[in-house]
Each structure stands twice: as structure tokens, then as C-alpha cells.
Amino acid sequence: MANQSVTHATYAIERTYPASPERVFAAFSDPAKKRRWFADSASGQAESYELDFKVGGNEVTSRMIRGGPYQGTLLTNHSSFQDIVPGRRIVFAYTMSMGDTRISASLATVELSPTEKGTSLVFTDQAAFFEGADGAEMREQGWRKLFEGLEKALVPR
């Protein structure tokens, strides 16, 4: 396969929460709250988590990969905040690294706006993926997953 050095991509996720923009914003700015939904998950706690929520401040999340070909590798998410408008907007740049290798860099934007029932959240990720973002095994796994999904999609219902 030809080695592409960088691939760019953008995607967006939209959610609506039955809570005020201030409350949603607090889940981003308060380190204890942010850790709960961002760094920890049902599959395990983060190895370490730090948050300095201010423009120019950083957030560092480290998680151990617990399965697959990269089991035991540390996955690190490093963010630095570019712009913060309380209750409205958070812009941050983040990189993801597997072990010592950086695999992607993104500019991410969180936009909050009040709705009748709560808060609309729009998350936009503008990403650059670097070479080596996938190991051979991960690529194969990716294809397998893709094919499994495809099988399901093609089975007539």
C-alpha cells in the first residue's frame, strides 16, 4: 500500500442534552466531572489525567490499551485550549500518541447553544492523520470489522 504521509478529514457530532449550557459547560471545565465522562469508562480508568482549563492550558489523558495487537501500549491524548467562551464555546488542539509515536493532530471545536429543552452540543473535529497511524495488524483488524459490518448491511432483512 502506498504510504501517505498525512490524510486530512473532518467530522461532526451533534447532541442535545436536557441540561442548561452552564451545566454542560461545567462538565468540560471541572476536572473531576470532565474525567468521569472523558477519560474514564466502563472498560477501565485512565492511568493518569490532568486538566488545566484555561486558554493556553493543557489536558493530558493516558490510557492503557487493553486488547488487540497493541495491548499494553499507552495511548496519550494531549490537548491545549485555544479559545474558551464560558457556556458557549471551547476550541482546543489535540494530538493522539501511541507509545512515543504521534498518530494524529486535530483542531476540535465544541459549540453549545441553548434550546427549548436544554442544550445543543456540536463537536467538530478537523484532523490530520500521520503515517504509521495504523500498524499492519490494526489495518487488518480494521478491514475485518469493515467486512463484518458490510456482511450485516448486505443481508436482506
Partner 1 sequence: MNAPAESVRRLSNKKINIDRVFHALGDPTRRAIVEQLSQRPLSVSMLAKPLAITLAAVVQHLEILEKSGLVHTEKVGRVRTCQIQSDGLSVAEQWITDRRALWERRFDRLGELLAEPDEK
Binding site for partner 1 (CB under 8 A): 1-2, 4, 7-11, 13, 15, 17-19, 23-24, 27, 33, 36-38, 41, 104, 121, 123, 125, 127, 129, 133-134, 136, 139-140, 142-143, 145-147, 149-150, 153-154
Cβ at position 125, least distance to partner 1 in Å:
7
Cβ at position 95, least distance to partner 1 in Å:
12
103: three-class secondary structure by DSSP: strand
Whole-number Å distance between alpha carbons of 82 and 97:
20
* Grid cell in block for residue 120: 445543543
Cβ at position 79, least distance to partner 1 in Å:
13
Report the residue number, 50 or 134, with the smaller CB distance to partner 1.
134
Of 26, 34, 27, whose CA–CA distance to 60 is shortest?
Answer: 34
- Residue 104: phi and psi, rounded to 5, are -160, 155
